[in-house]
């Protein structure tokens, strides 16, 4: 009887401990989830504050100058979406902010010239005149470079999955984990578009979002294969030569960057060496009349 009571007490104790531990861990998960939601809300609030600040700075320009100007709204919208700047800018707020910076740059240039600091005025004037468009174009170029770098991997890995008989969308989904963040985002949207509409529409949207010649060529080839009644994997297989060319180009570009970096690092050292050893020799040659 005593053993039976001990067994019952032990069972109830274990059940109590299990429920208690489950509650503790669930509360921990709850607090982690709550903390994560707080971080996301803070991030959204921060982005909203930046966007509001930009709107306030550019509001006079948007009100008085923007209605008189003509601009390619569609092209600017594409750039903002591709770069991710659409979180902070609309087309009108971007143009207004850019014009405002240009006005400030010209004003600073005039003020600095009048106060005898023309060099500083030129520097600040040039910076503010071209800063925003330079940063936007630089962001776009950097993203395109990251997309281009992983594009051969996307083709090669997807082609491998398709060759094994895997369905197209499943192959794209399996390829995601091997690519960088930019391609993961694009391909997730591609899968959603393919499920909502069709593969052709998804391919067209992928082409528009990347705006890269290599992706356009790939999409055109895949669509041509589909129209002719072939399998999609044939379109990927046909890119084998392009993959090799792109990989070679990426390698050459990396080598060129390293060479440029080496020159930039060595240039100050060469100047110092010349100043240390060359100038005294030139001075001596001048003093004895050789030069």
- For the chain, the domains span 7-116, 144-247
So what's the pLDDT on residue 274? 64
Kindly give the interhelix angle for 118-163 and 168-175, rounded to the nearest 10 degrees.
130
So what's the pLDDT on residue 30? 40
Two tokens, residue 193: 């578009």
d(C-alpha 234, C-alpha 240), whole Å: 10
**What is the distance, to the nearest Å, from the Cα of residue 80 to the centroid of all Cα atoms in its chain?**
11
**Residue 167 falls in which region: left (phi positive, over 0), alpha (psi -120 to 50) or beta:** beta
DSSP secondary structure string for all residues of 80-149: HHHHTGGGT--HHHHHHHHHHHHHHHHHHHHHHHHTT-HHHHHHHHHHHHHHHHHHHHHHHHHHHHHHHH
Two tokens, residue 132: 């925003």
Q: In this structure, what DSSP letter does residue 200 have?
A: H
d(C-alpha 140, C-alpha 79), whole Å: 7
So what's the pLDDT on residue 213? 83
- Between the CA atoms of 93, 96, 97 and 102, what dihedral angle is there, to the nearest 10 degrees? 160
Return per-residue pLDDT of the chain as tens, 291 residues. Answer: 444 444 444 454 455 445 544 444 444 444 444 445 454 444 444 555 767 777 777 777 777 777 788 888 888 998 898 888 888 888 888 898 888 888 888 998 898 888 888 888 888 888 888 888 999 999 998 888 888 888 888 888 888 888 888 888 999 999 998 999 889 999 999 999 999 998 889 999 998 888 888 888 888 888 888 888 777 777 777 776 676 777 677 777 777 777 776 776 666 776 666 666 666 666 666 666 555
3-class secondary-structure state, position 229? coil
| Nearest alpha carbon to residue 236 among 149, 143, 179, 151 | 151
The helix/strand count (H/E) of the chain reads as: 11, 0
Please compute Rg for the chain using Cα positions. 31
283-to-268, 269, 289 alpha-carbon distances in Å: 22, 21, 10
d(C-alpha 168, C-alpha 225), whole Å: 14
d(C-alpha 129, C-alpha 131), whole Å: 6
Q: In this structure, what DSSP letter does residue 197 have?
A: S
Two tokens, residue 102: 């240009």
Contact (Cβ atoms closer than 8 angstroms) between residue 222 and residue 242: no
| Nearest alpha carbon to residue 241 among 257, 218, 222 | 218
Whether this model's pTM surpasses 0.75 = no
Cβ atoms within 10 Å of 111's Cβ, excluding its own: 12
């Amino acid at each position: 009887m005593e053993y039976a009571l001990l067994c019952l007490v032990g069972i109830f104790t274990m059940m109590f401990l299990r429920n208690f531990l489950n509650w503790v861990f669930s509360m921990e998960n709850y607090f982690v989830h709550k903390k994560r939601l707080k971080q996301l809300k803070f991030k959204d609030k921060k982005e909203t504050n930046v966007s509001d600040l930009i709107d306030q700075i550019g509001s006079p320009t948007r009100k008085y100058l923007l209605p008189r100007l003509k601009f390619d709204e569609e092209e600017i919208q594409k750039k903002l979406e591709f770069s991710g700047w659409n979180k902070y800018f609309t087309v009108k707020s971007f143009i207004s902010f850019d014009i405002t910076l240009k006005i400030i740059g010209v004003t600073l240039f005039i003020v600095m010239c009048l106060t005898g600091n023309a060099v500083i005025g030129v520097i600040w004037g040039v910076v503010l005149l071209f800063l925003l468009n330079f940063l936007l174009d630089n962001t776009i170029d950097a993203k395109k470079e990251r997309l281009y770098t992983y594009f051969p991997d996307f083709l090669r890995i997807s082609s491998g999955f398709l060759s094994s008989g895997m369905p197209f969308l499943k192959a794209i989904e399996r390829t995601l984990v091997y690519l960088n963040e930019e391609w993961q985002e694009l391909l997730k949207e591609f899968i959603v578009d393919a499920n909502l509409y069709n593969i052709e529409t998804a391919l067209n949207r992928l082409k528009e979002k990347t705006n890269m010649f290599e992706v356009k060529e790939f999409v055109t080839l895949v669509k041509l294969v589909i129209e002719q009644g072939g399998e999609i994997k044939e379109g990927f297989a046909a890119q084998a030569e392009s993959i090799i060319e792109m990989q070679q180009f990426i390698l050459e570009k990396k080598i060129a960057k390293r060479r440029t970096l080496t020159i930039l690092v060595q240039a100050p050292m060469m100047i110092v060496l010349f100043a240390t050893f060359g100038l005294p020799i030139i001075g001596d040659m001048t003093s004895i009349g050789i030069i």
